[in-house]
Amino acid sequence: MKTDDFISMLASGVTPVDRHALAKRFVVAVLVGLVTATLLVMIVLGVRPDLATVAATPIFWAKIAFPLSLMIGALSVVMRLARPGMTPGWGKLLIVAAIAAVWAGALYVLVAVAPDMRVAVILGKTWRVCALNITLLSIPGFIAVFWALRGLAPTRLKLAGACGGLLAGAMATLAYCLHCPEMEVPFWGAWYLLGMLVPTAIGALLGPRWLRW
């Protein structure tokens, strides 16, 4: 076979690659994660009855800002890692900054309250179920994010899996804020973060196996 004929054979049937394929897959994944988690909160757990009142307070929006910042940061990182040879980029800085801000706020609150109240402030009233609820709510988003990643070409599989798990956990936590009555920063820094770290750890463990291509 002549070289020109061989090249023509290889080139036949080639279709253009959708330049927006990555964005489209993650739009679907984020919508599935957020909408499903929100519906589960509304149907299974229930929205807190005083939501309209607390939504008018700055502390509620600070509570929302924590998982929202982690979601944006994790989404940025995982979208970069979905392509071969990419670094995490600026998203990792947002993740670190969000956690550092919450921990700094938690430390400030714990220093300000009476010593005998510190444990109660950290535990709140729902510490036994908070991390578990977030983990369970993250399952649909976790599946959706891994579906998005499997259709792309990540090479840093453990890190991509971990960031995908964090993205799912952050979406679940964002939805969980509609139900959770806890308004103390130390509680968020402990139990919200633990709930998000569970899918992060699972993603890191499953990434090398599920994302291999």
CA-nearest of 58, 89, 97, 81 to 156 is 81
Percent of the chain residues past pLDDT 70, beyond the cut: 91
Tens-digit pLDDT profile for residues 15-32: 455 567 788 999 999 999
CA-to-CA dists, residue 106 to 112, 122, 130, 154, 180, angstroms: 10, 9, 17, 36, 18
Measure the N-to-C terminal CA separation of the chain; round to a whole number of Å: 32
**pLDDT in the model for residue 124:** 94
Whether the per-residue pLDDT at 53 is higher than 90: the answer is yes
Instruction: Provide the b/e sequence for 150-182 (b: ≥16 CB within 10 Å).
Output: eebebebbebbbbbbbbbbbbbbbbbbbbbbeb
Please state the separation of Cα 14 from the chain's center in Å: 36
pLDDT of residue 74: 97
Question: What value does the mean pLDDT of the chain take?
Answer: 91
Span 57-110, pLDDT tens digits:
999 999 999 999 999 999 999 999 999 988 999 999 999 999 999 999 999 999
> Could you tell me the CA-to-CA distances from 25 to 10, 70, 188, 196 in Å, in that order?
28, 19, 30, 22
Whether the pLDDT of residue 11 is over 70: the answer is: no
pTM of the model: 0.90
Q: What percent of the chain has a predicted confidence (pLDDT) above 90?
A: 84
Res 69: pLDDT: 97
Name the amino acid, one letter, at 57: T
Q: pLDDT grade, residue 38 (50/70/90)?
A: very high
pLDDT of residue 10: 47
